[in-house]
Structure 1
Amino acid sequence: MHGARTEQVMLTAGTVWAALAVQIGMLLAFRYAKKRVYHVVTMIAVILFDIGMPVYLYLNKDWYRRLIEEGEIASFLIWIHLMMLVLMYALYVLQIKTALRLLRSDNSVRVDHRTQGRVVLWVRGLVILSGALLVE
């Protein structure tokens, strides 16, 4: 029983490390935005990672026990984390919209796209931080 618990904690700590590694990749893609192919491919990979992470965690964690049986559904940190995730996904939608316009040579959204990118970096960092605080 103790070994399984340690494995579960390691699994979750591993997801935090993976998210941090992806954050570094995202920072590099932001920094080297003029290398368009690198930037676009990296950002698509980051978005796909962030879409897949909740699915992965859902399939590998006992959410019912933690949220319902242990009563963490009422935790302020859980709700902050959830709201940050919703904000991050909404920002991704805006980023994709402006990115598509940029790829069609509409440079009027370049400043918006860069500003949104900065906000995404901060929000994603906060998502990682709140997720790390929720590690069992």
Structure 2
Amino acid sequence: MLTAGTVWAALFTYVLMLAAFRYAKQRTFHVLTMTSVILFDLGMPIYLYLYKGWYRRLIVESELTSILVWIHFMMLVMMYALYVMQVKTALCLLRSDNSVRIDHRAQGKALLLVRALVIFTGALLVES
């Protein structure tokens, strides 16, 4: 489903995400970087659908029954759910509602962990 180039791109965006988390007080850098990473992650399934042999691997080669595919899928669902919560708290922060700052940071830490697992499971699924 994935290629090595796709994994490298995901790793690069993960490093950007770590930098944005580390320098969260530089609001412009943080917001632009995190928005870019979210858009990258939203575009990845579309890219894979349009340009990779997902049908052959999942249906023809019966990889759909693989536990690794399902673990990867569930990590993706969790990552997207965390993105929704992150955006909601980020919008509150941009409106100067600091009551959600602790939640936003905790969600950010969880997102870093889940996204690392998504990249790891995706790398394990790379077609050789």
- TM bin (shorter chain): over 0.9
User: Would you identify which runs of 4 or more consecutive aligned residues in structure 1 move more than 2 Å?
Assistant: none
List runs of 5+ in structure 1 lacking aligned partners.
Answer: 1-8
Q: Distance in 2 between matches of 1:84 and 1:18?
A: 18
Quote how far apart the aligned CAs of 1:119 are.
0.4
Q: Which residue of 2 aligns with 1:74?
A: 65
Aligned residues: 127
Matches within 5 A, 1:1-136: 12-136=3-127
State the identity %.
71
Report the Cα offset of residue 108 of structure 1. Answer: 0.5
Q: Which 5+ residue runs of structure 2 have no aligned equivalent?
A: none
Give the structure with higher Rg (CA).
1
Larger RCO of the pair (alpha carbons < 8 Å, separation 6+): 2
- The CA RMSD over aligned residues, in Å, is 1.1
Q: How many Å separate the matches in 2 of 1:47 and 1:37?
A: 15
Q: CA deviation at 1:60?
A: 1.1
Distance in 2 (CA, whole Å) between partners of 1:72 and 1:46 is: 28
